[in-house]
Structure 1
Amino acid sequence: MVDGNSAYNLHEIGPSLHADGGYVALIDRRMLERECLAHSLNYHKINRRVLTFSDLRDWQDARDVIGIPSAVLFNTGSYAPGEINGEIERLITAVAPAAVVVLSDNQDLNSILDTIALGVRGYIPSSVNIDICIQAISLAIAGGRFIPASSVLGISELLGLSSHRSAPAAKLTNRQSAIAEALRRGKANKDIASELNLCESTIKVHIRNIMRKLGATNRTEVACRMGGGMFEH
Structure 2
Amino acid sequence: MSSAIGLHSFALPSQPEISSGGGTRDNEQADRECLLILDGRALDRECLASALEDHDLGMAVAAMGTIEEWRIKKDSYAPLSAILFNLGGRKVTDQRISDEIRSISSEFSSVPVILLADTDDISQILVALECGARGYIPTSVGIDVCVEALNLAAAGGIFVPASSVLSMRHLIDSGSRDPRPLTTMFTHRQAEVAQALRRGKANKIIAYELNLRESTVKVHIRNIMKKLKATNRTEVAYKVNDLFGEGAPAEE
TM-score (structure 1 length as normaliser): 0.60
CA RMSD of aligned residues (A): 2.8
Which of 55, 61, 81 is the matching residue for 1:70? 81
Unpaired segments ≥5 residues, structure 1: 164-233
Structure-2 separation of matches of 1:95 and 1:13: 26
Distance in 2 of aligned mates of 1:84 and 1:92:
12
Partner of 1:205: none
Match of 1:182 in 2: none
- What residue in structure 1 maps to residue 35 of structure 2? 24
Residue in 2 that maps onto 1:96: 109
Corresponding residue SS for 2:128:
helix
Structure 1 equivalent of residue 60 of structure 2: 49
Give the match for residue 191 of structure 2. none
* Corresponding residue for residue 23 of structure 2: 8
Residue identity in the other structure for 1:132: V
User: Higher RCO, 1 or 2 (CA under 8 Å, sep at least 6)?
Assistant: 1
Aligned to 1:135: 148
C-alpha spacing 1:116/1:25, structure 2 compared with 1 (3 Å): same
Structure 1 residue 118: deviation in Å? 1.5
Q: 1:155 to 1:68 in 2, by over 3 A?
A: farther
Q: How far apart, in 2, do the equivalents of 1:72 and 1:28 lie?
A: 11
Contact 2:36–2:64 (Cα < 8 Å) also in 1: yes
Distance 1:111 1:155 in 2: 13
Residue 69 of structure 2 aligns to a residue whose secondary structure is helix
Query: 1:31-69 deviations in whole A, cap 9, x for unaligned?
Result: 000000000001111011111110111111123443641
- CA shift in 2, pair 1:31/1:66, >3 Å: same
Aligned residues: 157
Identity %: 34
Say if 1:126 and 1:15 are closer, same or farther in 2 by CA, change over 3 A.
closer
Q: Contact 1:44/1:131 (CA < 8 Å) preserved in 2? A: yes
91, 115, 133: which one aligns with 1:120: 133
Q: Is the 1:29–1:78 contact (alpha carbons within 8 Å) kept by the matching residues of 2?
A: no
Q: Which has the larger radius of gyration?
A: 2
